[in-house]
Structure 1
Amino acid sequence: MPDHRPEIRLGEYESTELGTDQLTTADVTRLHALQARRCLSLTTSRTGWRLKAEATVGVLALDRVRLVVEPKFAIRGEQLMTWLAYALHTPIPTMARRWVTRPDGYADLVAAALLEECEKLLREGLRRDYVRRQSLEPVLRGRLDVAAQATRRYGQLDQLHVRTFDREADIWDNRVLGVALQAALSLTTDSRLARALHGITDAFPHSGTPAAALRALQRTQYTRLNARYRPAHTWAHLLLRGGGVTDLLTDQGTTAGGLLLAMPRLWEAVVRRLAAEAAVPHGGHPVPGHGETGITVRGDLGNASTFRPDLLLRFPRASPDDPVLLPVDAKYKRYDRHGVGAGDIHQLLTYSVGYTPAEATRAVIIHPQPGGNARRTLRIGAPQRGLGVIHVLGIDPRARPEQASAWMRAALASLL
């Protein structure tokens, strides 16, 4: 449905001034909850409030205004959705050909992705399962509830308390989609998309609350009977959590009526899949960067701390007892415009010393680089000896995932 609230637009890490009359008390509470999870910051100013965006993009629908936070890399909404689907191992939706969106059209695109999957399920036929119900009927159906009949009807037989066990579509697999479609209606601003969502919502049972639907999604186990529901459930989960897919969004449920995506978490998920797939042709595979293979700090005040790379790749060598380990770290930073920071160099040097041989210490940074893939090599040395090598790989976020994967395979081959 059309949203008539004033729209305020800003980019990642940008700030804006809001008047005291633009935020309600409920809005301030929601924003402070998001601030606690480092999605944004809200401070008082002379004229009211100063809101600063962090690396979280999307739509925040408050009571009186609608905030839109755009990615700093100016990625079109359709391309952002492509990478999101890639990170989630979910089929890339085709709604980009059906819905005209603005460059930031993230919320509408997620809603359209859910719509597309729900339409597909309807064409194939919704899954049905046996549901136990108790009802009052004029004729006997199923099994007579003798205790209820005796205590509630006092032996009268004009109405019968019965227990039935019928196959119905009103099961949680379908119910969570109905709840998510209703949530999508409240977020979309495209009139055609809103009409399509409204037309399909009644085809799904939608009893229950978003919180109950989320609990059902967390309990869902996929088998051959409901495996085709996985893509639709993925988009439903995204909407109901306000963007909160596991390992993607730092927000743990406080959505403020919006749809937000933490870009660093998304980039980490993209890099993990890209690097893992690129390692397979070379005989490599990911291994845990914690536990027995973790780098720990002990003996300091408090608990022991741990260094964990985003991804640790293991490659075979001539001796199976002496594999090659390669630490890979995802950095959602503009390393196409400025040099690698000292903190990141220290971090990657620690990984290289901890996981690679002393004679060939190395690590990899992967960052987004709009305009084309690129690579450069940092050599860190001391007066006595070299300390290590850091390979900085830039992946074009405007390219297709399969193109980025092919380039990544070639880049890894040159490092081994």
Structure 2
Amino acid sequence: MADRTPVELDEYGSISLGSEQLTARDIDRLHALQAGGRLSLHPGRTGWHLKAGAIVGVLVLDRVRLIIRPKFAIPGEQLMSWLAYALCTPVPTSVRHWTTGPDGYAELVAAALLEECERLVRDGLRRDYVRRQSLEPMLRGRLDVAAQATHRYGQLDRLHVRTFERETDIWDNRVLGTALKAALPLTTNSELARDLHSITGTFPHTATPGAALRALDCTRYTRLNARYRPAHTWARLLLRGGGVTDLLTDRGTTAGGLLLPMPALWEAVVRRLATEAAAPHGGRSVPSNGKAGITVRGDLGKTSTFRPDLLLSLPGPGTAHRVLLPIDAKYKRYDRHGVSADDVHQLLTYSAGYTPADNPSAVIIHPRGGGYARRVLQIGSPQGSLGVIHVLGIDTRAHPEHATAWVRTALL
């Protein structure tokens, strides 16, 4: 197939595409992404008008390669550090070699998977006992009496046997082989593509990406396979295509790209940031669903709920009681714009539902392009104070561990 034309735009950016640049299959895939809130696609005078949402990454279409770059929240050179932090996995050392690649984020994730797979190969792939059925000239393992009687009709020159052999053809390795194959179309760097291709044959693979994802969802880690966790983390990200699971089918076709929803990434970052910041002071995260949730009953339709992104349980000042603090991650430009009325209403609901009546408070954490910032919103009424909202801006150009220390100082 001819090389695809690269088309670049920024997160939240828009671009016009000619009608000859998109095939019918491309339009169906883009409409599926539109249904998931990743982008929007509308017909124009001479073709199509495409507008990206809060996503970054690469989408490989039939005739074009759509490359969406980070715009304001997390600079490209720091994206992998924050992504690894959110996924609780170490940043591979070789990733720095690929930071200037034309496909940016997708090549970084492919390079991360490659490094982890190379490490597993050097240390030796895990083997486990696999059940096999075979026809042998001598008895090995257990004789399959039913197969022997129905297929050999009493002949004993060849025996149907069942054996257990220690092999690398197990799910821990299969999912990595499948992910390595999925990573190949995402990169245009010849050196990275060559390394991916050379190691792919070392791993067995599943019939479909969907089967690999189901296996990853069922994987439980023990001391035997704990070293596979980082590689499986990058494999899951690649196989999901950035979370667009509805484009995965059991016919072997995938989303053909790697799109990362930035609001979901920021929520994961905030959950870890605030939890680690509160831990040294006895704080811990607690569930905000079920009986602990804020519910609305009596309206038309089903019961609705309010759930903050994170609910911290903190020791109360000078008492044996603990207090709750709701925290919400907002992937918005609150370093340049005021907090919206909808978000103020939402955080006031959280503070009224979880925090003490004499000191209602809540926290918003948003990304910021340079330096840390903190401001306090005082919400009042003719009857007195309604609550306080702390707005914290996190410097995404800094290292995540530095941000943890700053959040600890700001919160506590």
TM-score (norm 1): 0.93
Change over 3 Å in CA distance of 1:313–1:164 after alignment to 2 = same
CA distance in 1, matches of 2:15, 2:37: 17
SS state of the match for residue 21, structure 2?
coil
**Residues 34 and 251 in structure 1, CA contact (< 8 A), matched pair in contact too:** no
Change over 3 Å in CA distance of 1:3–1:92 after alignment to 2 = farther
What is residue 134 of structure 1 aligned with on the other side?
Answer: 133
The Cα of 1:139 is off from its aligned counterpart by 4.2
What is residue 311 of structure 1 aligned with on the other side?
Answer: 310
The Cα of 1:95 is off from its aligned counterpart by 2.0
Measured against aligned partners, the alpha-carbon deviations of 1:207-229 in whole angstroms (never above 9, x if no partner) come to: 42211111111111111111111
What is residue 236 of structure 1 aligned with on the other side?
Answer: 235
What is residue 178 of structure 1 aligned with on the other side?
Answer: 177
CA distance in 1, matches of 2:75, 2:380: 41
The Cα of 1:138 is off from its aligned counterpart by 4.0
SS state of the match for residue 272, structure 1?
helix
Are 1:302 and 2:319 counterparts? no
Q: What residue ranges of structure 2 are gaps of 5+ in the alignment? A: 249-253
What is residue 24 of structure 2 aligned with on the other side?
Answer: 25
**Residues 61 and 258 in structure 1, CA contact (< 8 A), matched pair in contact too:** yes
CA distance in 1, matches of 2:390, 2:319: 25
Once superposed, what is the RMSD of the aligned Cα atoms?
A: 1.9
Counterpart mapping for 1:137-156 below 5 A: 137-156=136-155
CA distance in 2, matches of 1:314, 1:165: 50
SS state of the match for residue 135, structure 2?
strand
CA distance in 1, matches of 2:76, 2:112: 12
What is residue 327 of structure 1 aligned with on the other side?
Answer: 326
SS state of the match for residue 52, structure 1?
strand
Are 1:114 and 2:113 counterparts? yes
Measured against aligned partners, the alpha-carbon deviations of 1:377-413 in whole angstroms (never above 9, x if no partner) come to: 1112223422221111000111111110111111112
What is residue 396 of structure 1 aligned with on the other side?
Answer: 395
Counterpart mapping for 1:198-347 below 5 A: 198-244=197-243, 252-254=246-248, 256-317=255-316, 318-320=318-320, 322-347=321-346
The Cα of 1:251 is off from its aligned counterpart by 5.0
What residue identity is the alignment partner of 1:37?
G
Change over 3 Å in CA distance of 1:103–1:344 after alignment to 2 = farther
The Cα of 1:3 is off from its aligned counterpart by 8.2
**Residues 132 and 163 in structure 2, CA contact (< 8 A), matched pair in contact too:** yes
The Cα of 1:105 is off from its aligned counterpart by 0.9
Q: Which moved more, 1:54-63 or 1:133-142?
A: 133-142
CA distance in 2, matches of 1:373, 1:201: 43
What residue identity is the alignment partner of 1:108?
E
> Matched residue pairs, number?
406
CA distance in 2, matches of 1:277, 1:3: 49
TM-score (norm 2): 0.93
CA distance in 1, matches of 2:334, 2:103: 23
What is residue 82 of structure 1 aligned with on the other side?
Answer: 81
CA distance in 2, matches of 1:44, 1:34: 16
What is residue 194 of structure 1 aligned with on the other side?
Answer: 193
What is residue 251 of structure 2 aligned with on the other side?
Answer: none
Q: Percent same amino acid among aligned pairs?
A: 72
What is residue 365 of structure 1 aligned with on the other side?
Answer: 364
Q: Which moved more, 1:343-352 or 1:151-160?
A: 151-160
The Cα of 1:7 is off from its aligned counterpart by 1.0
**Residues 210 and 240 in structure 1, CA contact (< 8 A), matched pair in contact too:** yes
Q: What residue ranges of structure 1 are gaps of 5+ in the alignment? A: 245-249
Change over 3 Å in CA distance of 1:285–1:253 after alignment to 2 = farther
SS state of the match for residue 360, structure 1?
coil
CA distance in 2, matches of 1:326, 1:13: 32
The Cα of 1:142 is off from its aligned counterpart by 2.9
What is residue 91 of structure 1 aligned with on the other side?
Answer: 90
CA distance in 1, matches of 2:231, 2:400: 21
What is residue 349 of structure 1 aligned with on the other side?
Answer: 348
Runs (4+) of structure 1 exceeding 6 A deviation are none
What residue identity is the alignment partner of 1:369?
R
SS state of the match for residue 98, structure 2?
coil
